[in-house]
Structure 1
Amino acid sequence: MYIIPAIDILDGKVVRLREGDYAQKTEYNISLAEMIAKYQSNGTDFIHIIDLNGAKGDFSNQQSLFEIIKKTEMKVQYGGGIRTIEQVNHLLDAGIHRVIVGTQAITNPDFLRELSMAFAKKDDYANRIVIAIDVLDEVIKYSGWMESSPIKLMDYVDKCLNLGFFRFLCTDINKDGKLEGAAIDLYKKLLEHSPFIKLIASGGVSSMDDIKALAKFDIRSVVVGKAIYEDRISIEEIKEWNLKALSSI
């Protein structure tokens, strides 16, 4: 299991939200470029970036992000307000390694099918699309976690799999930003239902003990944000863990 450090951007600044609430924002005194450089200099080659402006339809952060990406060898997993196939193409062409799709995949019944058809002939396309599943008490939430989907969690996973998508980013909203431990029971249920999915865990990680607990299951990677910013997990610990993870593949 690989640790992917998270960076959330709002108005060009590095922040963290609690339970996805823009009103519960913690702002950090470091720029996006400095944060990426800090991770890269310590041996991390993969980062997770969520554009919180993009989630609300404002893509003013993207140009500066693209310029930073061009100057680094870091692989970027990016999400935030992606609503069209054209946006997915644009992001991949700009150097984004993986694109996260969430709300549109839930609210538009045809989006994933059209995305699958559009990318079917491209190499490794399914590996570069990440399906975000944000869950509150096993109910799928979307639109900044404000709306609830009637689609049952496992039915949605099955739909995505049937269309060729197998990489999922699952966030337990109850855990996000609280540093109270990861949603192991939720991940166990997902893996018991579909043991062959490539699952990315997100939310609640507070220490390396949480990382070790997640690593007991077939979880491919885990996104960690606030625990790093609050000095609960050091970048050196991430580097050491990831080197061992890579050597065991």
Structure 2
Amino acid sequence: MYIIPAIDILDKKVVRLREGNYDDVTNYEVTLEEMIDKYQSHGTDFIHIIDLNGAKGDFSNQQYLYDIIRKTDMKVQYGGGVRSVEKVKELLDAGIHRVIVGTQAITNPDFLEELSKSLSKNNQTLDRVVVAIDVLDEVIKYSGWMESSPIKLMDYVDKCLRLGFYRFLCTDISKDGKLGGAGIELYEKLLDHSPFIKLIASGGVSSMADIEALNKIKVESCVVGKAIYENKISIDEIKDWNLQSLVSI
């Protein structure tokens, strides 16, 4: 299992939200460029960047983020405001390693099928698309976690698999931003339902003990954000863990 450090951006600032609440924001006195440089200097080659403005339909951050991302040779997993097949292709062509799709995949029933056909036609791998599933009490949330979907969680997973998408970023909203531990129960349910999916866990990771617990249930990777900023997990611990993970592959 690989640890992917997370950087959430709101109004061009590095932040963390509590349970996805835009009114409960923690700001950090560090820039996106500084965070990327810090991770890279400590041997991390994979970063998770979310445009929180884009997630709720405000695209004022996008050019700022694109300009910074284009300058780094880090592998970037990027999400927030990806609303069209053309945007996914644009990001992949620009060198983004993985693109996260969320709201559009929920609200437009044809989006994932169109995306699958388009990428396959252009010989681009579906492995570089991550389907975001943001969950609160087994209800899928979207639009920056402000709206609820009537689609059942496992039905949605099955639909994605039928269309060739098998990498999922699952955020347990009830855990996110609280440093209270990862949503192990939710991830176990997903992996019990579909053992062969590539699952990226997100939300609540607060210690290396949480990392160990996620590794035990065999998630592919996990996203860690606030625990780093609050000094619960050090960058050196992440570096050592990831090196050991690469050796064991």
What TM-score range do you get, normalising by the shorter chain? over 0.9
Instruction: Return the letter of the residue paired with 2:54.
Output: G
Deviation at 1:89, TM superposition (A): 1.3
* Identity score, percent: 76
- After TM superposition, the structure 1 stretch with the greater mean CA deviation from structure 2, 89-98 or 157-166, is 89-98
Secondary structure in 2 matching 1:33: helix
C-alpha distance in 1 between matches for 2:125 and 2:28: 34
**Is 1:72 equivalent to 2:99 in the alignment?**
no
The match for 1:86 is 86
1:91-240 map, 5 Å: 91-123=91-123, 125-240=125-240
Deviation at 1:223, TM superposition (A): 0.2
C-alpha distance in 2 between matches for 1:35 and 1:183: 26
State the Cα deviation string for residues 112-134 of structure 1 (Å, max 9, x = none): 01011110134452111000001
State the Cα deviation string for residues 80-130 of structure 1 (Å, max 9, x = none): 011111111121122211100001101110000101111013445211100
Instruction: Return the letter of the residue paired with 1:35.
Output: M
Runs (5+) with no aligned partner, structure 1: none
C-alpha distance in 2 between matches for 1:79 and 1:89: 13
Change in CA separation of 1:236 and 1:189 when aligned onto 2, cut-off 3 Å: same
C-alpha distance in 2 between matches for 1:71 and 1:139: 38
Runs of 4+ in 1 over 6 A off after TM superposition: none
Secondary structure in 2 matching 1:177: coil
Give the conservation status (yes or no) of the 8 Å contact 2:179–2:204: yes
The match for 2:8 is 8
Secondary structure in 2 matching 1:92: helix
Corresponding residue pairs, total: 249
Give the conservation status (yes or no) of the 8 Å contact 1:66–1:95: no
C-alpha distance in 2 between matches for 1:175 and 1:32: 24
Give the conservation status (yes or no) of the 8 Å contact 1:8–1:14: yes
Secondary structure in 2 matching 1:215: helix
Instruction: Return the letter of the residue paired with 1:10.
Output: L
C-alpha distance in 2 between matches for 1:190 and 1:142: 19
Secondary structure in 1 matching 2:237: helix
TM-score, length-normalised on structure 2?
A: 0.97
Deviation at 1:70, TM superposition (A): 2.8
TM-score, length-normalised on structure 1?
A: 0.97
Deviation at 1:56, TM superposition (A): 2.3
Change in CA separation of 1:184 and 1:124 when aligned onto 2, cut-off 3 Å: farther
Root-mean-square deviation (Å): 1.0
Instruction: Return the letter of the residue paired with 2:146.
Output: M
Runs (5+) with no aligned partner, structure 2: none
State the Cα deviation string for residues 184-239 of structure 1 (Å, max 9, x = none): 01111111110000000000000001001110012000000000000000000000
C-alpha distance in 1 between matches for 2:121 and 2:247: 32
Give the conservation status (yes or no) of the 8 Å contact 1:66–1:94: no
Give the conservation status (yes or no) of the 8 Å contact 2:172–2:202: yes
Secondary structure in 2 matching 1:53: helix
Deviation at 1:143, TM superposition (A): 1.5
The match for 2:56 is 56
Give the conservation status (yes or no) of the 8 Å contact 2:52–2:144: no
